[in-house]
Amino acid sequence: MDRGHHFYIVVRWDSRNALSSSNKVSISINGVHAFGLSSAWSVVDPQANLRVGSWGGPSYGADALIQGLTIYRRPLYEATTPSGINVGNGDEISQIYNSGTGKDPTLVTGSWDVVFALPTNQSAGALTTGTGNAWSHPHSSNLLYTSTTNTGGFMMGADYTTDGWSRGDGYEPTVGSLATANKIYAGGYYMTSTGASTMNIQRAYTTTAGSNYVLRAIGNSDGTCNPKIEIWNNNNGTKITELAGTTTSTRTAPDVYIFTWQAPSGNTSEIIKLLNLASTGTCSWHQVEVLENSITNPSMEGASSNPYIPTGWTNSNLVAGDTTQEATTVHSGLYSVKYTSSVLQADFRQFPTSSANNFYASGFASYGTFSGYTTYVPSNRAFLQNSYNVYARITIKQGATWQSNFGIWRVNTAMICRFFTETAP
C-alpha cells in the first residue's frame, strides 16, 4: 500500500453462516469487497493477548496509523453482493467509505451493536484517562439482563425460561432456541403459533414511575408470522406503547424495533410482550435491549399547544404554527412533532444530564422531505466522538418513511438536544 494515503478497511466474518456463497469471511478496502474461507474455524478468547495496532508485541506494529477502530456484534451490510445483516441503515460499508472521504461509522450504524470503539481525538494518552477513552455500547445495562446465568434480553440461556421469559396470557405457543442457521447473534428464540392470534412470550422488569426508557429489538418473520412488540404497565394491566414488524422480514434483513416511552405515574414494573398477531407462523426473536433514557418524555407526548412543545421540552423562538401535534404520522406512542418552521435557529430543546469526558449515544426517528433540518449540540458543549473540534451536527434523514438518525458525542461541558432549521428551505 502507498504511504501517505488513507485506506478504509472493513473485515467481516460469521463462523456459522456464510456471508456470500459459501464464504464466511470478507475484507473490503476502499469500497471493493473480496470473500473467502468456506471452512469452519475454532473461536478463541483473545482477552489475554488483546492488542490494538500490533501483532505479537511492539516488534510487529502496524505500518500505519489506525483511526476510528470500531468492532461490532454482527457483520455490517453491503448492498452490492449483497452480504451482511441489513438492520435498516442501508449500505453501511459504502456510507462509511463515503466515496473516499470517510465517515464516522457510528453516524451510520449508531452504537447498538458496538462492543469496542476507539475514536480519534488527536491527543495521546492511555485508554483509561480523559478524552483518550475507548467506549462500548452499555450492553450490561440492559434492564432485561440480570446475571451471567440469566442473559434475559440477549436470549443466550439454555431455553427461554432460563432467561426469565414465559408464555403469556393463557396462550401456549411453541418456543425454543434458534437453530444455528437462523441466528444473527449468539442467542435467540423461535415462537410458533398453533391456531390462535396474539400468541406471545413476555418478561417483566423493574421500572421507576416517571423515568424514561428506550428499546431496541431484532426479530423476523417466516413469511406468515406477523411480529409485534408491546410494553405493558404491570401495575394496572394497561398497554403503554407498541411497534409492529412486517411479514416480509428475514434473518439477513430483520425488523429493527427502536422506540421510546416514559413510565406512567405509579408504575414500578413493566412487561415486554413479543407477539405473533397471526394465528400461524414462526417468529424469530434475536435479542431485546431496554435501557434507561436521559431524555425526558423521549416519545414527545403531552397536552396539545400552539406551537406544540412536548412536556419536558423547552421552546426557543418558535411561534404558533411552527410545530403541531401529529397523531396520524406516528412512529410509536400516540403523537409525534410536526415541524414546519422556516425560521432559522428557532427550535425546541432539552438539557439532558451529562458529564464531561463521557460518551453519549443519541438517536431519533424522522419522517418527511422538508429541507434544512438538523439536530445540533453546540460545539463548546459536546463534540462528535471521532473529533475534538467538529460542530456536533447531524443532518436529519429525508424520506416518506420513518428513518433512524444516530450520533455519538464526547461531552465537553454539557449536552443540548435541539431540533431546528439551519438553512432556508
DSSP-assigned states of every residue in 159-195: STTTTT-EE-TT---EEEEPPGGG-SSS--EEEE--S
Question: CB-hemisphere CA count at 13 Å for 56?
Answer: 2
Nearest to 12 by CA among 25, 29, 2: 25
CB atoms inside a 10 Å sphere around CB 123: 9
pLDDT of residue 44: 72
Say whether pLDDT at 83 is over 70: yes
Which domains are present in the chain? 9-39+63-136 (no CATH), 152-292 (2.60.120.260), 314-421 (no CATH)
| Tens digit of each residue's pLDDT (9 = 90 or more) over 123-174 | 555 555 444 578 899 999 999 998 777 899 999 988 899 999 999 877 789 9
pLDDT, residue 1, reads 45
C-alpha distance from residue 316 to each of 236, 252, 335, 346, 418 (Å): 37, 43, 21, 6, 9
Can you tell me the distance from the alpha carbon of 73 to that of 183, in angstroms, rounded to the nearest whole number?
12
pLDDT digits (tens, 9 = 90+) for 177-221: 999 999 999 999 999 998 888 889 999 999 999 999 999 999 999
pLDDT value, residue 131: 47
Residue 418 pLDDT grade (very low, low, confident, very high; cuts 50, 70, 90)? confident
Choose between 105 and 5: higher pLDDT: 105
Phi-psi region of 371 (alpha: psi -120 to 50; beta: other; left: phi over 0): beta
Q: CB neighbours of 325 closer than 8 A, spacing ≥ 6?
A: 304, 305, 308, 335, 337, 338
C-alpha to C-alpha distance for 291 and 231, rounded to whole angstroms: 14
Model pLDDT, residue 331:
94
Q: How many residues does the chain have?
A: 425
- Each residue of 23-43: pLDDT tens digit? 999 999 999 999 999 988 877
